[in-house]
Structure 1
Amino acid sequence: MEYSNQLMRLGIPIFELLSEALGLNPKHLKDMGCAEGLYFIAHYYPICPEPDLTQGLSKHTNSAFLTAVLQDQTGGLQVLHENHWVDVNPVHGALMVNLGDMMQLITNSKFVYHRVLAKNVKLRISVACFFRTHFGQEDSPRKYGPIMELLSE
């Protein structure tokens, strides 16, 4: 619970900085509800004797507004940049934050594919925290679309 509380405390200023970077009021993304829901997934990747023969976690995007990932020092996370897979080297004690599909939708912008490779050196553990809306509320009046201030002709 403490980790969850600390992530929420971290998420608010990240959304404020993203709002400012978009030229919006610092509270804009928070007021839209981007920081209301948290969803955690822990991944355990055992040592793989033949990583070249496995898929790992295939190319994908996250459906969230943003994702904060606590990863160990094993590595394996990659992002697709200019049609080339680039390693995201873990930094001890740091969180990796990436933007998801909902952020792409509301900012009328682009997103980056990522994947996780199998490793043969040691097991890999990561904990992903997704800032996203609550699912299962089909009758919710809240709808998301591109932010009007970010649209052009």
Structure 2
Amino acid sequence: MVNHGIPTGVLDNLLRSTREFHEQPKEMRMEFYTRDCTRKVKYYSTGDLYQTKTAQWRDTLSCDFDDTSKIDLGSFPEICRNEIGDYLNRLHGLKNLLAELLSEALGLSSNHLASLECFDIQRLLCHYYPPCPEPDLTIGIMKHSDPYILTILLQDNIGGLQILHKNQWVDVTPVQGSLLVNAGDLLQLITNDHFKSVEHRVVATRAGPRISAACFIYPRNKNQSKPYGPVKELLSDKNPQKYRETSFLDYIHYFGSKGLDGVKALPHFQLISANE
């Protein structure tokens, strides 16, 4: 996605400050190291290590927030807090525009998806993939689709991201100044397969370090127990409901319990027809 309205300088500053955080002395990074999922700011490697037996070749700074208009920048690492805040402020308007465009693409009113209260910026992951001396023996991020509505990804020019297309892995070539938007499982569920979540992975390489920042769009905390199902206006005799209603909390609990095992979580929520 180009012509998105976010200045290239804002994007470059986020990538630069992400690298600076990860290349600080270990003692400064360890101030934020935790596996406590309730912490708003977390620094870790392979976040789902207890479910996934394969360690992944990356470190991550994770920043969670419930309302982008009330972000407490003071809790973020000083070395990148202003750059994160600037990026998120710019991303808020872009997120709203995407909700309108996707609604119109479905033949709905422009405010329809936003009215479902599931298009909120909730988490930013700032990834650091060091150069790998033996890339054939590991992976940056294993094959998966995201459990969210959307993922908005900023990446540097190193490359390594791949999507699964017709059972073939296809390289996603970085484009300077662009943002990549991935549909997530929850968007596929509420649009009854009109939009499909994309399976992707990041391969380890000898080049690097690779820097990326993934922003996840999903329901705000107060709406995470709310049931979400296929939009009624999209259903018909020719397009019957394919998924049962579920809350985001239930979906993310199932997604987390199975780990990144290479199998999509979405089929678990499919309805079984009377003919099957």
Is TM more than 0.5 here? yes
Unaligned runs of 5+ in 2: 1-84, 238-276
Rounded to whole Å, the distance in 1 between the matches of 2:221 and 2:170 is: 32
TM superposition shift of 1:135:
4.7
Q: Which residue of 2 aligns with 1:25?
A: 109
Q: Which residue of 1 aligns with 2:32?
A: none
Deviations 1:51-71, CA, capped at 9 Å, x for gaps: 111122110111110010110
Q: How many correspondences in the alignment?
A: 151
CA RMSD, 1 decimal: 1.5
Sequence identity percentage: 52
Q: Which residue of 2 aligns with 1:99?
A: 183
Rounded to whole Å, the distance in 2 between the matches of 1:136 and 1:76 is: 36
Structure 1 ranges of 4+ moved more than 6 A: none
Q: Which residue of 2 aligns with 1:132?
A: 218
Rounded to whole Å, the distance in 2 between the matches of 1:137 and 1:25 is: 22
Unaligned runs of 5+ in 1: none
Instruction: Give the strand-richer structure, 1 or 2.
Output: 1
Q: Does residue 72 in structure 1 map to residue 175 in structure 2?
A: no
1:125 alignment partner, SS class: strand
TM superposition shift of 1:111:
1.9
Q: Which residue of 1 aligns with 2:88?
A: 4
Q: Which residue of 2 aligns with 1:46?
A: 130
Instruction: Give the helix-richer structure, 1 or 2.
Output: 2
Query: Higher relative CO (CA 8 A, sep ≥ 6), structure 1 or 2?
Result: 1
Rounded to whole Å, the distance in 1 between the matches of 2:106 and 2:223 is: 29
Rounded to whole Å, the distance in 1 between the matches of 2:182 and 2:123 is: 15
Relative to 1, partners in 2 of residues 1:123 and 1:30: Cα closer, same or farther, differing over 3 Å? same
Deviations 1:118-140, CA, capped at 9 Å, x for gaps: 010221110000011135876x4
Q: Which residue of 2 aligns with 1:111?
A: 197
- TM-score, structure 1 length as denominator? 0.92
Which of 209, 214, 230 is the equivalent residue of 1:146? Answer: 230
CA contact (8 A) 2:118 2:223 kept: no
Q: Which residue of 2 aligns with 1:83?
A: 167
Rounded to whole Å, the distance in 2 between the matches of 1:37 and 1:119 is: 30
Give 1 or 2 for the bigger CA radius of gyration: 2
Rounded to whole Å, the distance in 2 between the matches of 1:37 and 1:93 is: 21
